[in-house]
A and B are shown apart, each in its own frame.
Chain A
């Protein structure tokens, strides 16, 4: 969709809605997250199915049709989005100042978050701009994972998101955005090749299309997890299916929170991790 400038009509009031907007500017009707709307197009889905079925065929010839089916089912039923984040961000996510201060929002208001346009500007001309156009700044990044494991290179804490909280606003890309833009030599105005992205319900097809050739017999969930998410603790080597969540999330969207192992942590990070996990455990208790 990146900056194609196309528009569609609001099903409610029939006014024109830019494809990068979620709500109709006239009646505020919710058309759904723009990243999901784009990928849900029939051409995009057909291209993805074609790639995935080709992999199913190859696996059948290799005698691994049962394994690839199991892998596909596992991703479809069990996979979720995991977002890695620095310990301080996780700590912040679980500590709500509104619970500590009275009248906090009223006093501090929107001035608290003066999002820097500079960051967003940069995104617009950068990778996310190529993939998402003007709403690139609204995208939050994660990975598709079968377990609560995330990428260690991006933080100390992994948050597994609740499916219900994100499934209508998440889309998936076959690899990390930067690698994808490089591999397909995307430039402003270049169309994004079809069949490399998926909505929530087709994420298993994307996984098969990407990893089908690597499926062998006898693999279990642990092996598939390692295939789905290669966490080498090195941003250049890490390999994963990237999740794009439209707009931000709160702690209520988090299902599980764990510390990522193997990172060397200083005192501040350790403290942040412990606070985040302790507070999140309390939040989970309250949910029950």
Chain B
């Protein structure tokens, strides 16, 4: 069989394919999935020194293999930069990217293989980075760096023994000594050899190398090398962990060793605390509050014994954050109050507390907490969060002037984006768009600005543009923001009627974050759209939640699903009575009223439906505007009010509506086909939020 050959540069991920001597070569970029077909790639090709010849059975197979090679090379290069030292801010970004790559593109072992190409000049740096990764919750990277650090003593001995191999031992090998070392590294053999821990195991593993060696003299040579290395690495036949421990003792200075043992204890504590936090979150999510409180007491009791109480505060804040995600603000409050009892002088705790108070509508208290955080040294975040509280209350001008109190606000991308967001929320879409564009020109990587533009595009009905922008956001954004922007993208997909695609994404998020309420709400709505209202309702089979911003969605979707199942009274209970105590913005309120109007329409209560629709203010959102018009048209049709029907129909026609469901709803209403129209109205309401 013919093999497919090409030239490959792992640094830039480019594959140079020469199909024939007559054709110009094609340059294919593996990661970006793009190709160049220009001889001018000379400029690009010439500056890279790492071209290698690669081959496989086919081009497809080669690309598949090289994709992993590219990500392994990239992650290893980034890790080398980390080990060489970077500024704090850049270090976090690089650690985050390594974490992403190891989670999405390759196994951590493949990366470890690259990093043990030689012993580290400063092994403690790996340990420091492991600790930093753990602190940022990059657990895969932390483990990888810890393993790297762990393997150093034996790797050093192995490398020294390798370099000291007598030349007569390596003479018969098919590959040069350096090439053979690279083979051991690349194929993961070295990693396995470093982990075997005893001479017999070492020799067993080494003998597997002989299988692929066709030349008998090379096999003899390899066997000799294996024996020699085993003897050097495991001088006693009874070699166990103690020997390795001794190695580590010799390798580390005594102070390093003490530090390393402390790190071990710290790491074990961290992992144990993380498990407990997860268990508490699970208990809260399933309503086992007594169990959750018991776990919480145990965790805090252990952590509070430590001289450094910051771990207890961090754990409580972590649990509070999870509770916020599942709308359990009562338990969130309990955790935060406990944390404040331990250390009210923690600025970030005060900020989280202020955020909690904002979400539960206690604005004045929230501002007080943020002022306290400002006094504790986090003034910029405190001012910014205070401005957000003003915006939440609809006091947009005050919010903007508060943001502008931040020193050098004009040169801070985050503040500029926050101000643009305020413009957007108050309906000044053109102003907001202009500001987002200005921000992107100065800071092209500020993905929050792209998200702001996407929201505007969505509100104006440019859904393809919104989708494109969200794709860009997801390409640029940090891991921690990915879930929230994926959900935003799902909403656009929902508006585009690409329900299955949106369902896949939300379902994926729930697999990752089972208790995240926003994701569960979206999945329930999508199940309603996909004709499985009963299952959607099961997703939302949770107790009522204490009043918090965003809780109205729970009642809204639950109400619509119940309505779809013809359970009118229960639906009205959710859409009208339950939502009366919930916290929401004016835009949210409009959707709730539309849901309630549909409930009355289905029950033939035109007066009540009409009364609700009359209270709906002018909307900036194109979709809500159409939805309101459709329900008004529905009332007019039922009342045989031809004048109003005509007016609304013309109004909709003049808007040149592109949404197929809106068009279908008008079509069915005008023809008096009310059941089909109601189906469309359901779809529109499920897609609206």
Q: Is the CB of A107 within 8 A of B117?
A: yes
**B643 proximal to A (CB < 8 A):** no
**B220 proximal to A (CB < 8 A):** no
User: What's the least CB distance linking A200 to chain B, in Å?
Assistant: 19
Q: Is the CB of A95 within 8 A of B44?
A: no
Q: Is the CB of A100 within 8 A of B159?
A: no
Q: Which 3 residue pairs across A and B have the least CB separation, nearest first?
A: A109-B178, A101-B118, A116-B7
Residue-wise interface mask of A (80-101) relative to B, using a CB-CB cutoff of 8 A (1 in contact, 0 not): 0001111011011001110111
**A274 proximal to B (CB < 8 A):** yes
Q: Is the CB of A275 within 8 A of B118?
A: no
Q: Which residues of A contact B181 (CB under 8 A)?
A: 107-109, 111
Please provide the chain B residues from 443 to 463 with a CB less than 8 Å away from any CB of chain A in the complex.
Answer: 444-445
Residues of chain A at interface, number, CB under 8 A? 59
Stretch from A6-14, A60-68, A124-132, A201-209 forming part of the interface with B: A124-132
**Which residue from B16, B42, B476 sits with its C-beta under 8 Å from A127?**
B42
**A151 proximal to B (CB < 8 A):** yes
Q: Which residues of A contact B117 (CB under 8 A)?
A: 97, 101, 104, 107-108
User: What's the least CB distance linking A232 to chain B, in Å?
Assistant: 13
**A49 proximal to B (CB < 8 A):** no
Q: Which residue of A lies closest to B121 (CB)?
A: A102
Residue-wise interface mask of B (172-195) relative to A, using a CB-CB cutoff of 8 A (1 in contact, 0 not): 000011110110000000000000
Q: Which residues of B contact A183 (CB under 8 A)?
A: none
Contacts A100-B120, A271-B93 hold; do A88 and B12 have CB atoms under 8 A apart? yes
- For the complex, give the distance between the alpha carbons of A107 and B180 in Å: 10
Residue-wise interface mask of A (142-176) relative to B, using a CB-CB cutoff of 8 A (1 in contact, 0 not): 00000000010011000000000000000000001
**A76 proximal to B (CB < 8 A):** no
**Which residue from B90, B156, B475 sits with its C-beta under 8 Å from A278?**
B90
> Which of A109, A116, A268, A270 gathers the greatest number of chain B CB atoms within 10 Å?
A116
- For the complex, give the distance between the alpha carbons of A177 and B8 in Å: 23
- For the complex, give the distance between the alpha carbons of A118 and B20 in Å: 12
User: What's the least CB distance linking B200 to chain A, in Å?
Assistant: 26
**A184 proximal to B (CB < 8 A):** no
Contacts A119-B45, A151-B43 hold; do A268 and B53 have CB atoms under 8 A apart? no
Residue-wise interface mask of B (412-449) relative to A, using a CB-CB cutoff of 8 A (1 in contact, 0 not): 00000000000000000000000000000000110000
**B74 proximal to A (CB < 8 A):** yes
Q: Is the CB of A278 within 8 A of B87?
A: yes
Q: Which residue of B lies closest to A242 (CB)?
A: B43
Q: Which residues of A contact B16 (CB under 8 A)?
A: 116, 118-119, 122
Q: Which residue of A lies closest to B44 (CB)?
A: A154
**A41 proximal to B (CB < 8 A):** no
- For the complex, give the distance between the alpha carbons of A46 and B139 in Å: 67
Q: Which residues of A contact B179 (CB under 8 A)?
A: 109, 111
Stretch from A21-29, A190-198, A223-231, A259-267 forming part of the interface with B: A259-267
User: What's the least CB distance linking B55 to chain A, in Å?
Assistant: 10
**A51 proximal to B (CB < 8 A):** no
**Which residue from B7, B18, B48, B97 sits with its C-beta under 8 Å from A89?**
B48
- For the complex, give the distance between the alpha carbons of A279 and B85 in Å: 9
**Which residue from B80, B90, B163, B476 sits with its C-beta under 8 Å from A100?**
B80
Q: Is the CB of B86 within 8 A of A278?
A: yes
Q: Which residues of A contact B31 (CB under 8 A)?
A: 268
Q: Is the CB of A275 within 8 A of B81?
A: yes
Q: Which residues of B contact A119 (CB under 8 A)?
A: 7, 16, 45, 51
Show 27 A/B contacts (Cβ-Cβ < 8 Å), sorted by A: A83-B47, A88-B12, A89-B48, A92-B50, A97-B118, A99-B84, A101-B117, A102-B119, A103-B119, A103-B163, A108-B178, A109-B181, A111-B182, A112-B182, A113-B50, A116-B16, A119-B16, A122-B18, A126-B42, A177-B42, A248-B49, A264-B444, A270-B445, A274-B90, A275-B90, A278-B90, A279-B84
User: What's the least CB distance linking A43 to chain B, in Å?
Assistant: 27
Q: Which residues of B contact A108 (CB under 8 A)?
A: 117-118, 178, 181-182
User: What's the least CB distance linking A66 to chain B, in Å?
Assistant: 35
Report A's interface with B, CB cutoff 8 A: 83-86, 88-89, 91-92, 95-97, 99-104, 106-119, 122-123, 125-128, 139-141, 151, 154-155, 176-178, 235, 248, 264-268, 270-271, 274-275, 278-279
**Which residue from A86, A102, A106, A127 sits with its C-beta under 8 Å from B44?**
A86
Q: Which residues of B contact A155 (CB under 8 A)?
A: 44, 47
**Which residue from A89, A113, A118 sits with its C-beta under 8 Å from B6?**
A118
Q: Is the CB of A95 within 8 A of B81?
A: yes
Q: Which residues of A contact B120 (CB under 8 A)?
A: 100-102
- For the complex, give the distance between the alpha carbons of A156 and B120 in Å: 31
Contacts A91-B77, A107-B178, A268-B74 hold; do A116 and B52 have CB atoms under 8 A apart? yes
**B11 proximal to A (CB < 8 A):** yes
User: What's the least CB distance linking B449 to chain A, in Å?
Assistant: 14
- For the complex, give the distance between the alpha carbons of A147 and B51 in Å: 30
- For the complex, give the distance between the alpha carbons of A155 and B42 in Å: 12
Q: Is the CB of A279 within 8 A of B43?
A: no
**B94 proximal to A (CB < 8 A):** yes
- For the complex, give the distance between the alpha carbons of A268 and B30 in Å: 14
User: What's the least CB distance linking B219 to chain A, in Å?
Assistant: 21
- For the complex, give the distance between the alpha carbons of A275 and B477 in Å: 18
User: What's the least CB distance linking A115 to chain B, in Å?
Assistant: 6
Known: A109-B178, A275-B81; 15 extra A-B contacts, CB below 8 A, are: A83-B47, A85-B47, A91-B77, A95-B77, A96-B84, A97-B118, A101-B120, A102-B119, A114-B52, A176-B40, A178-B40, A235-B38, A268-B31, A270-B445, A271-B78
Q: Which residues of B contact A248 (CB under 8 A)?
A: 49
Contacts A108-B182, A126-B39 hold; do A118 and B49 have CB atoms under 8 A apart? no
Q: Which residues of A contact B53 (CB under 8 A)?
A: 114, 116-118
**B226 proximal to A (CB < 8 A):** no
- For the complex, give the distance between the alpha carbons of A107 and B183 in Å: 11
**B394 proximal to A (CB < 8 A):** no
Q: Is the CB of A116 within 8 A of B8?
A: yes
Q: Is the CB of A92 within 8 A of B77?
A: yes
Q: Which residues of B contact A279 (CB under 8 A)?
A: 81, 84, 86
User: What's the least CB distance linking B275 to chain A, in Å?
Assistant: 31
User: What's the least CB distance linking B54 to chain A, in Å?
Assistant: 8
User: What's the least CB distance linking A103 to chain B, in Å?
Assistant: 5
Q: Which residues of A contact B121 (CB under 8 A)?
A: 99-102
Q: Is the CB of B42 within 8 A of A95?
A: no
Q: Which residues of A contact B93 (CB under 8 A)?
A: 271, 274
User: What's the least CB distance linking B21 to chain A, in Å?
Assistant: 7
Q: Which residues of B contact A125 (CB under 8 A)?
A: 21
**B5 proximal to A (CB < 8 A):** yes
- For the complex, give the distance between the alpha carbons of A88 and B49 in Å: 12
- For the complex, give the distance between the alpha carbons of A266 and B477 in Å: 10
Q: Is the CB of B47 within 8 A of A140?
A: yes
Q: Which residues of B contact A96 (CB under 8 A)?
A: 84
Q: Which residues of B contact A271 (CB under 8 A)?
A: 78, 93-94, 97
Contacts A103-B119, A109-B176 hold; do A118 and B18 have CB atoms under 8 A apart? yes
Q: Which residues of B contact A99 (CB under 8 A)?
A: 84, 121
Residue-wise interface mask of B (469-494) relative to A, using a CB-CB cutoff of 8 A (1 in contact, 0 not): 00000011100000000000000000
Q: Is the CB of B444 within 8 A of A265?
A: yes
Q: Is the CB of A118 within 8 A of B159?
A: no
**B549 proximal to A (CB < 8 A):** no
Q: Which residues of B contact A97 (CB under 8 A)?
A: 80, 117-118
Q: Which residues of B contact A114 (CB under 8 A)?
A: 52-53
**B162 proximal to A (CB < 8 A):** yes
**Which residue from B32, B39, B119, B445 sits with its C-beta under 8 Å from A267?**
B445
- For the complex, give the distance between the alpha carbons of A82 and B572 in Å: 71
